[in-house]
Chain A
Amino acid sequence: MSDLDPLRLTALEAKRLLVEGEASAAELTSAYLRQIDAVERRVGAYVQVCADDAARYAARIDSEMTASRGALAGLPTAIKDNMLTLGVTSTAGSRILRNYSPVYTATAVRKLFDEHIVMLGKTNLDEFAMGSSTENSAFHTTRNPWDLGTVPGGSSGGSAAAVAAGEALWALGSDTGGSIRQPASLCGVVGMKPTYGAVSRYGLIAFASSLDQIGPLTRSVGDAALLLRHIVGGDSSDSTSVELPSRIELPSAERLDGLRVGVPREYLQAGIEEGVRRRFDETIALLEELGAGVEELSLPHTEYALAAYYLIAPAEASANLARFDGVRYGYRAPDCADLGEMYERTRGEGFGPEVKRRILIGTYALSSGYYDAYYGQAQRVRRLVKDDFDKSFAAVDLIVSPTSPTVAFGVGSRIDDPLAMYMSDVCTIPANLAGLPAISLPCGLSDGLPVGFQLIGPAFSENAILAAAHALERAIGFDPAPTFRGGETVEATTEATS
């Protein structure tokens, strides 16, 4: 099988090739390992590539697992490095976990292992998933395969770049304020954040526990449905996880007659670039051609959502990251005279600048005298943001917007301006605050860089979102193969070890 195109092959097609014997798992895996050999030095999507283990496991699937193959057997998959994998170093992009070897596997990943996926490696991310560009990784900055001088977005930038660059068939990411959808948008792939609780967070290194969700990054909407189907479900190890009311279906819709779609006017005032706006308007016209009714609506508390998020997420992070103290695992500062010095130096030396910034904001917002004005008020705003959505979903089925206000931006262009970086997530954060499912799919190019279109639905409306996104994807006809323009070799600043 020599005509596998890793830049365009979908997982559904790969699955068909394997089931019908037109390709072996070993051939499929080696096609992706070859592409990693060819482009990884320029893209830097991975923290760690597990080439030997992947090839060995794929060969085992071919030779031993002929009768009892899982539903995803032999499909080459990349996993964001904030998900624990037993015995395979899991760094969360942080110096403090550089050599951390997990003693268990995250539930979402284990479910994929149970279906016999082939893990190609662990992908790069902003440290502890805090960032929108992967520039906050302690190891290196991942590059956008469409233009190697630009960022892939973040925090799941490694997963998005791996899929876009044909370095993985598909990938898992995590989304706290847009960390799946924004990089998917910037890299021209599909990314979905499920309803809060749909996927177990057990083994996902916690950032903001009331917002984090694991989800798929894929080359097609159908692939997103297939991958999502196999990671959802209640888990006794995560008390916030629940069973979905219905099974995730593979989408087949071609028409969207009768679908009511709302466009929140506040999202179009959020500094949307002209080229992004043009692709968005064209996609709205396509929705109407497919039979959907499109109306403007208002989500009046949108302008407060970003502010509430940048209090709630750091507050939860400051509590979650208290566990990194140099006692039980991870980095420990050497030669400390006493325990207090060990805590302070371990954390001061182990965390990068953005993580420290968020720990400080979060600790400040939770500290005596400020708690109610900041954290308490942010939680009240969170309810108002959710109420806005609840009211809107009485009138429309789905809400749509651009995923990111801009296309991919230049490496280094926002790293010294935290607020400009935070604005990358202005259209994606509200769905996290309200716990709603949302997808980003590519809807065209602006200046040669991908533009993402976001669909948000009510809680547990994954099937409706996937159906609409699938029909739109057919109508858009986006070619996912990136241009790899510009760029140079990605230098690791600190080598992650395995």
Chain B
Amino acid sequence: MVTEDDVRYVARLARLRLEGDEARRATGELARILAHVAKIGELDIADVPPMAHVLDVTNVERADKPRPGLERDEALRNAPAVTDECFRVPRMSQR
């Protein structure tokens, strides 16, 4: 059974701030959804190899030819904050 602490833990893993009663509401919703999807646990299929992908393609490579990449100005065009041709972010931790 999912608890509100579980939801807060998972939200922290996902770097997702939940405000107000969001965590409480999410707990109920997740519990219902997980109860529904838990039906796959009925199947005794430990010997079935998991399928991550439908296409049987591995190690797709292209010719190793130089080509123009994204210009720095273009890459920075949508940035919320820029300094000295870099993305600018708040400090890593409080002193």
**Which residues does A use to contact B, with CB under 8 Å?**
100-101, 103-104, 196-197, 210, 236, 239-240, 242, 303-304, 307-308, 310-311, 318, 322, 325-332, 336-345, 347-349, 351, 356-357, 359-361, 363-364, 367, 373-374, 376-384, 386, 418-419, 433-435, 459
Picked from B14, B32, B70, B89, the residue with its CB within 8 Å of the CB of A360 is B14
- The distance from the CB of A390 to the nearest CB of chain B, in whole angstroms, is 11
6 A-B pairs within 8 Å (CB atoms) are namely A322-B14, A328-B78, A356-B18, A363-B10, A376-B50, A418-B32
Interface residues of B in 13-54 (CB under 8 A from A): 13-19, 22, 26, 29-30, 32-34, 36-41, 43, 45-46, 48-54
Q: Determine the chain B residues whose CB is within 8 A of the CB of A339 once the complex forms.
A: 89-93
A379 in contact with B16 (CB, 8 Å) = no
**Most A-side CB within 10 Å, residue of B15, B29, B50, B94:** B15
A240 touches B55 (CB 8 A): yes
A-chain residues with CB within 8 Å of residue B22 when the two chains form the complex: 356
Q: In the complex, how many angstroms separate the beta carbon of A164 from the nearest chain B beta carbon?
A: 31
| B interface residues, tally (CB under 8 Å) | 54
- Please judge, given known A-B contacts A347-B16, A348-B16, whether A383 and B48 are in contact too, CB under 8 Å: yes
Scoring A341, A380, A435 by chain B CB atoms within 10 A of each residue's CB, the highest score goes to: A380
The answer to whether A356 touches B26 (Cβ under 8 A) is: yes
B34 x A210 contact (CB < 8 A): no
Given A103-B75, A338-B92, the answer on whether A210 and B40 have CB atoms closer than 8 Å is no
Give the distance to chain B from A439, nearest Cβ to Cβ, in Å: 18
CB distance from B31 to the nearest CB of A (A): 11
Distance between B11 CB and nearest chain A CB, rounded to angstroms: 6
Q: A103-B77, A196-B54, A337-B90 are in contact. Are A360 and B40 (CB under 8 A)?
A: no
10 A-B pairs with the lowest CB-CB distances in the bound complex, closest first: A435-B54, A348-B17, A379-B50, A329-B78, A332-B80, A383-B51, A239-B60, A344-B17, A307-B37, A343-B15
Please indicate the chain B residues that have their CB under 8 angstroms from the CB of A100 in the complex: 78
Looking at the assembled complex, report how far the CB atom of B67 sits from the nearest CB atom of chain A, in whole angstroms. 10
B78 and A318 form a contact (CB under 8 A): no
A96–B52 CA distance with the chains assembled, in angstroms:
29
- Asked if B1 is at the interface of the complex by the 8 Å CB criterion, the answer is no
Inter-chain CA distance A195–B19, complex, in Å, is: 41
- In the complex, the answer to whether A381 meets B45 with C-beta atoms within 8 Å is yes
Nearest CB of chain B from residue A239's CB, rounded to whole Å: 4
**Which residues of B have CB within 8 Å of A378?**
37, 40
Are B54's CB and A434's CB within 8 A? yes
Residues of B within 8 A of A435 (CB): 54-55
Pick the contact of B93 from A325, A338, A342 — CB < 8 Å?
A: A338
Contact A239 B26 (CB under 8 A): no
Minimal beta-carbon separation of B29 from chain A (angstroms): 6
In the complex, what's the smallest C-beta–C-beta distance from B30 to chain A, in angstroms? 6
Contacts of B40 in A (CB 8 A): 304, 307-308, 311, 377-378, 381
CA distance A429 to B66 in the complex (A): 40
- Taking the closest CB of chain A, its distance from the CB of B86, in whole angstroms, is 11
Which B residues are in CB contact (< 8 Å) with A434? Answer: 54
The residue in chain A whose Cβ has the minimal distance to the Cβ of B50 is A379
| Contact A240:B36 (CB < 8 A) given known A341-B90, A379-B52, A386-B51 | no
Contact A329-B79, Cβ < 8 Å, known A239-B60, A242-B55, A377-B41: yes
Which residue of B has the minimal Cβ distance to A97? Answer: B78
Give the complex CA separation of A183 and B86 in angstroms.
Answer: 42
Given known A-B contacts A363-B13, A377-B41, A101 and B77 have beta carbons under 8 A apart: yes
State whether B26 touches A101 (Cβ < 8 A): no
